[in-house]
Structure 1
Amino acid sequence: MSQTRTATPAPVRGLVALLLAFLTALTLAAPATAAPQLDLVSRDTSAALPVVRPDFQVPNDSGQVFYIQRSPNANTVVYGTRVAGGRIDPAAPVSGYWRRFNTDGATKALGGFERRMAYGVESRPIGDGTYSVSFTALPAKTMTLRMEAGRPALFMPMGDAEAKLIYAYLDVEDGLIPSVKGLRIVGRLPSGQYVTETYRVKGGEL
């Protein structure tokens, strides 16, 4: 018994082909997003750790070297590393993930868009078990990951000294594409004092 095939009308085939071509173009030729512009507003020191949001839970994970809090809610991005044999694991020097403190505190992997455009991190070895670290959204800020007193730590120049980084806080304006309007970075100086750098941010789409 012969089978009868229903042919797709030519106009429909053309429309489908046009739609597929359009979607492919969007996927392959997405416009690049410019890095955010940071304008330093102030640099302040204090004897006690500055706490921007006392109502937010603070992570304390194994291997943690830095975390980012955000104004919309308590969900926090944690950056950590693994240590093997007293050295930072070269297979995974530093990586980021969510702590969903706005709900149950569980960990969650960063999404692909979040890694590419906002919270991704890259590292490269620079010798003696030390790594140069840069964040996707802050390419102008280069940090150093190394062991200190048997624990991994992240360092960045803040003023005239190198500070051990603790956390950052983002002032985020909600919208279809949330944007960062302000950034505070908190670290600890060799003197034992804490230092906070406050930046005005332009072009910080998340």
Structure 2
Amino acid sequence: MKLLFTLLSFLYLIPPTVTPVKQKPLKAFAVNNVADDEKFPVLPDNISRLFYVQRSPNINTIVYELNAGKNGQLDPENPVHVYWIRYGEQGQKEELSYIQRKFAYGLTSKQTGNEQYDIRFVSYKKFPLTLMKANDGKYHIFATINQKQMALSRVFIKIEGGSFWLPNVTYVELKGTDPSTGREIIERFKP
């Protein structure tokens, strides 16, 4: 698991090599206190977003959203689309670079049933996630942490020092909701 968070934390330094997607920049955002001295954007609600990842070195955010066509059907080969929102620049949306997609932030997927997928980070395939419809009829990413299932909404990685290749990950925080009660769950651990 440490490899996943190491790769996720240091690859923020690798600038994307793909031309930015042309769209109106997402500049306005709410502020969420993750720690006393840090403020990060809270993404506005979006029906197709599953979860997002943020790291303490900067406020750029990696977004994971459903890859559905106009007919609402998921692409069975690639059900999740991953991209940046570069809040530290102009708030523009950018695709991941090849290295980021294949070695750090990208996902693999395998259909395991009707409208259900096994999802894994390419950088840490031992951490299973499940993409499936919940009782509300919408797709969510589910993770099991400390024997609790949660509909994942956010991952935050706190980094203090270290080096480019081996940053010091202080903690990882997973935020989501209990699918049966709707209650918010926050789990923090040191990898």
Fold equivalence (TM over 0.5)? yes
Judge conservation of contact 2:33–2:40 (CA < 8 Å) in 1: no
Higher relative contact order, structure no. (Cα contacts within 8 Å, ≥ 6 residues apart): 1
Quick one: which of 186, 189, 202 aligns to 2:175?
186
Judge conservation of contact 1:133–1:142 (CA < 8 Å) in 2: yes
- In structure 2, how many angstroms separate the alpha carbons of the residues matched to 1:122 and 1:106? 25
1:168-187 to structure 2, matched below 5 A, reads 168-172=155-159, 173=161, 175-177=163-165, 179=167, 181=169, 182-187=171-176
Aligned pairs, number: 157
Structure 1 spans left out of the alignment, 5+ residues? 1-33, 39-49, 202-206
Quick one: which of 123, 126, 130 aligns to 1:140?
126
Tell me if 1:155 matches 2:148: no
Tell me if 1:52 matches 2:42: no
Shift of residue 97 of structure 1? 0.8
Q: Counterpart amino acid of 2:144?
A: P
1:195-206 to structure 2, matched below 5 A, reads 195-201=185-191
Give the TM-score normalised by structure 2. 0.71
Q: Root-mean-square deviation (CA), in Å?
A: 2.6
Structure 2 spans left out of the alignment, 5+ residues? 7-31
Tell me the equivalent position of 1:81.
Answer: 66
- In structure 2, how many angstroms separate the alpha carbons of the residues matched to 1:51 and 1:156? 23
Distance change >3 Å, CA 37–CA 106, structure 1 → 2:
closer
Tell me the equivalent position of 2:50.
Answer: 65
Secondary structure at 2:99's aligned position in 1?
helix
- In structure 2, how many angstroms separate the alpha carbons of the residues matched to 1:112 and 1:169? 23
Tell me if 1:110 matches 2:96: yes
Secondary structure at 1:75's aligned position in 2?
strand
Judge conservation of contact 1:88–1:152 (CA < 8 Å) in 2: no
Distance change >3 Å, CA 184–CA 77, structure 1 → 2:
same
Shift of residue 36 of structure 1? 5.0
- In structure 2, how many angstroms separate the alpha carbons of the residues matched to 1:157 and 1:88? 23
Q: Counterpart amino acid of 1:188?
A: T
- In structure 2, how many angstroms separate the alpha carbons of the residues matched to 1:105 and 1:95? 18
1:7-18 to structure 2, matched below 5 A, reads none
- In structure 2, how many angstroms separate the alpha carbons of the residues matched to 1:106 and 1:151? 27
Map Cα deviations across residues 121-157 of structure 1 (whole Å, 9 max, x no partner).
1111001111000012332210100123242210011
Judge conservation of contact 2:77–2:109 (CA < 8 Å) in 1: no
Shift of residue 91 of structure 1? 4.0
Distance change >3 Å, CA 52–CA 179, structure 1 → 2:
same
Shift of residue 166 of structure 1? 0.6
Secondary structure at 1:88's aligned position in 2?
coil
Secondary structure at 1:83's aligned position in 2?
coil
- In structure 1, how many angstroms separate the alpha carbons of the residues matched to 2:107 and 2:168? 18
Q: Which has the larger radius of gyration?
A: 1
Distance change >3 Å, CA 180–CA 187, structure 1 → 2:
farther
Range with bigger deviation, 163-172 or 105-114: 105-114
